[in-house]
Amino acid sequence: MKSSLAALADTAKQQTAMLKQIAKAQGVTVAEWQLLLKLQAGFDTQEKLAAEMQLDTSTLSRQLASLVKKEKLSKEAVGRDRRQLIYSVTPTGENAAAVINADYAKYEATVFDKWPQDEQNLLRILLNRLNKSVDRTLAP
């Protein structure tokens, strides 16, 4: 039997592979999907997004440019010098995010289809406890 952390790592790899497949079907990467979700939540400038997602501006700029090119985002220059950009999710981007969210929810439901609710709740509790334990080991 695998150790708990090894089993968790294997599960994470499987979950990541499925999420990549779901996102790719909508023409975006997982990182771009996460960016769309943050934009939908109201983080509409590069500065706000960089702070919220803890990304450097060059990485974020590439992802934003890619989403604009894919017509998932639009941008508008604002301010006196027109250098600040406000990003908004286009209807195409809204649809992509909605489909990915729905497909991921279906995947999660399929994974836990045979699990009773009390076992699902117990797993959540234990995973949250594990996450806190790992966080403590990383604290200085």
pLDDT (average), residues 72-82 = 85
What pLDDT score does 126 carry? 96
Considering only CA atoms, which of 109, 107, 113, 57 is closest in space to residue 85? 57
User: What is the pTM for the complete model shown?
Assistant: 0.87
> Is-contact 74 87, C-beta < 8 A?
yes
What pLDDT score does 114 carry? 96
Considering only CA atoms, which of 29, 27, 97 is closest in space to residue 62? 29
pLDDT digits (tens, 9 = 90+) for 91-108: 999 999 999 999 999 999
How many other β-carbons are positioned within 10 Å of the β-carbon of residue 138? 6
Looking at 12-16, 76-80, 111-115, 128-132, which range is the least confident one? 76-80
Q: Is the pLDDT of residue 81 over 80?
A: no
